[in-house]
Amino acid sequence: MSHGIFATVVIPLAGALALSQQAAVRNAPSPVFSADIDDSSSELRPHIERFAADRGSLLRTYNLEGSPARTTRLRGFYRDWLGRLERIPFENLSRDGQVDYVLLRLYLERELHRLDFAERQREEIADLVPFAPTVLSLVEAKRGLEPPDPARAAGALDQLASTVETLRRSLETPSRSDSSPQADHRRRVLAARAADYVATLRDAVRSWAGFYLGYDPVFTWWAEQPYRRADAALEAYGNFLRQRLAGLRALASDSESAGTPRPSELRWRRAAAARPGETDDIIGDPIGRESLVAELRFELIPYSPEELLALAESQFAWCESELRRASRQMGFGEDWKQALEKVKTMYVGPGRQPQLIGDLAREAEAFLDAHALITVPSLARETWRMEMMSPERQLINPFFTGGEVIRISFPTNTMSHEKNS
């Protein structure tokens, strides 16, 4: 799971909160800065800063997802922090402190839930990656500063390659007792998940071997050839899972796989497997109702999934009535779909999309200023900018995205005529 909430909730708290009540009195900001500097106070600030620093250090050290050592260490870390929070008298905190207390507690509970969820997900694909413990043991030994036994390491790599190759052959003609669409989709989901994990494990093996190959002459003599075989077997097996079992495109081949290894750019390799204009390479991996309810609770959303769907339906009904109203104004009567098709043809010419986005941004700024809705700092006006969205990114986000950087989605010369038109 991604850790985006840490960047959007916990870190801004540490960066935006001001000093404690006593420190704020001693170091009151100059009036010239008070208008645009957050001088609120929170007793939780030093706790949050310590938590963020310690967590970052742990994640950089225990950086292999799926490692039991990583899961155990993070679980203990989050539980320890929950214990620390429980020893803080909530009722004695300022309002800012109480808000930060609640947010930090929710974050810790969410991370513990996600650790458990990720563990269950890996258990579901254990049969597809039975060699994972071998990889994990090699990587964990290096993290623990244990000197490698070159001959034993070579044997482990050679056995790893044999295990992976045998497993791939056994799966080439799978027996499918249940051929229902639901079961077939489930198999694709698990295969795609396993393929991603194989890529992660391969990345870990390459980083581990790259620490010794070329630097340790004895290790290089023993392990270079077994490493190359294991790396090729992992690459082939990962692509087999993606292509044959999940029905996806193979990851881009790495021309350096047979040479001195380096940490691979996993995110790039995954993106390279996408086909601009196609959706075949997108397989959803549902988290299930239980986890969805938990995520809603962590976001302080007081609705069940069913209630949210009902709200969405009512909002969609309103949108549809507005579509019909606009359709009548355009002369298409009640056929709002035809009106929508007309709108699709009302686009700017090739190469003019950035100018349009710029005009829309300036129009938005003028609207905010005219109606005094929010204050737009002069630095924000100065530093926002535009970038073009890659064809791969357009697979999952066909429009533009906002923020400090507005990324523009527009057809490129790599797309087919059908997709461009």
| Residue 399 located in a structural domain | yes
Same-domain check for residues 137 and 264? yes
The per-residue pLDDT for 395 is: 76
Residues 71 and 187 in one domain: no
Structure confidence at residue 8 (pLDDT): 38
111 and 66 inside one domain: yes
| CA nearest to 207, candidates 234, 169, 170, 182 | 234
Considering the domain architecture, whether residues 32 and 87 belong to the same structural domain is answered as yes
Q: What global pTM score does this model have?
A: 0.71
pLDDT value, residue 5:
38
Predicted local distance difference test score (pLDDT) of residue 390: 86
Answer yes or no: are the C-beta atoms of 206 and 231 closer than 8 Å.
yes
In order along its 421 residues, the chain shows pLDDT tens digits of 334 333 334 434 443 333 333 334 444 444 555 566 666 689 999 999 999 999 999 999 999 988 999 999 999 999 999 999 999 999 999 999 999 999 999 999 999 999 999 999 999 999 999 999 999 999 999 988 899 999 999 999 999 999 999 999 999 876 666 678 888 889 999 999 999 999 999 999 999 999 999 999 999 999 999 999 999 999 999 999 999 998 887 766 654 444 444 444 444 344 444 454 455 556 788 889 999 999 999 999 999 999 999 999 999 999 999 999 999 999 999 999 999 999 888 888 888 888 988 999 999 999 999 999 988 888 999 999 999 888 888 877 767 788 889 988 887 888 776 655 5
Same domain? For 265 and 141 the reply is yes
Is 90 contained in some domain? Answer: yes
pLDDT value at residue 281? 59
Q: Would 240 be classed as within a structural domain?
A: yes
Q: With respect to residue 190, please indicate whether it lies within any of the assigned structural domains.
A: yes
- SS3 readout for the chain: CCCHHHHHHHHHHHHHCECCHHHHHHCCCCCCCCCCCCCCECCCHHHHHHHHHHHHHHHHHCCCCCCHHHHHHHHHHHHHHHHHHHCCCHHHCCHHHHHHHHHHHHHHHHHHHHHHHHHHHHHHCHHHCCCHHHHHHHHHHHHCCCCCCHHHHHHHHHHHHHHHHHHHHHHCCCCCCCCCHHHHHHHHHHHHHHHHHHHHHHHHHHHHHHHHCCCCHHHHHHHHHHHHHHHHHHHHHHHHHHHHHCCCCCCCCCCCCCCCCCCCCHHHHHHHCCCCCCCCCCCCCCCHHHHHHHHHHHCCCCCCHHHHHHHHHHHHHHHHHHHHHHHHHCCCCCCHHHHHHHHHCCCCCCCCHHHHHHHHHHHHHHHHHHHCCCCCCHHHHHHCEEEECCCCHHHCCCCCECCCEEEECCCCCCCCHHHHC
Q: Is 89 part of a structural domain of the chain?
A: yes
Indicate whether 296 belongs to any domain. no
Question: 90 and 188 in one domain?
Answer: no
**203 and 100 share one domain:** no
Return the closest-CA partner of residue 154 out of 162, 164, 146: 162
Q: Please tell me the predicted confidence (pLDDT) of residue 6.
A: 39
- Residue that finishes a domain, picked among 318, 346, 374: 346
Residue 277 lies in a domain: no
Say if residue 356 is in the same domain as residue 334: no
397 is a domain residue: yes
Q: Which domain holds residue 313?
A: 303-346
Hey, what are 14's tokens?
């540490």
Does one domain contain both 134 and 228? yes
Per-residue confidence (pLDDT) for residue 15, from 0 to 100:
38
**What per-residue confidence (pLDDT) applies to 198?**
96
Number of structural domains found in the chain: 4
Does residue 265 sit in the same domain as residue 143? Answer: yes
Same domain, 21 and 107: yes
**Residue 337 and residue 360 share a domain:** no
| HEC sequence for 231-248 | HHHHHHHHHHHHHHHCCC
